[in-house]
Amino acid sequence: ELAIKAYQRAIEANENSRYWASIGDLYTRLGRFSEAVQIYENMLVDRPGEASSWTLLGEVYFQAGRSEESLQAFNKAIELDPAYIRAYFSLCLTYNKMGRYRDAVAVGERGLTLDPDIAAVHYELLRAHLYLGDTESARRAYEVLVRIAPARARTVAEFFE
């Protein structure tokens, strides 16, 4: 609560969406999803073209149990900024959590065309491939993880050794 009040005072002194995003993040961490959603939706009224704000909204929508709205928000972020890798990662993660593994693979692979060394995306692809029973593709994702994020690779090594 003290941090939220401090950010609100900073906003009063200097209107800045970065502070609003910080308040939204704090509400999310506290599990106060409806308040976080309200913050991010309000940010988008002023700046509807910010892919990062749409991604934050999508993430909190998902945590609030609003899966379809989260997918719409991530897709809007990608539409606004096709190079914004976090939107691809968040969409891939969300598809995995929803059990939509083929969609997760498609989005993850699109994201990796932008930056092939994003460990979080390789990890989500690995998970999706395992759920789909595609052990060869999962192994390829694992091998990339070993190279770019060995600590993360160790968390799934038991499946490949």
| pLDDT tens digits along 9-56 | 555 545 555 677 888 898 999 999 999 999 899 889 888 999 999 999
For residue 128, the tally of other CB atoms under 10 A from its CB is 28
Q: What is the reported pTM?
A: 0.87
pLDDT in tens, 54-85: 999 999 999 999 999 999 999 999 999 999 99
Query: pLDDT higher for 26 or 97?
Result: 97
80, 83, 89, 91 alpha-carbon torsion, rounded to 10°: 30
Interatomic CA distance for residues 21 and 90, integer angstroms: 17
Q: What pLDDT was estimated at residue 9?
A: 56
Sequence-distant (≥ 6) Cβ neighbours of residue 48 within 8 angstroms: none
Six token digits for residue 5: 């009040």
Average pLDDT of the residues of the chain: 90
How far does CA 146 lie from the centroid of its chain? 22
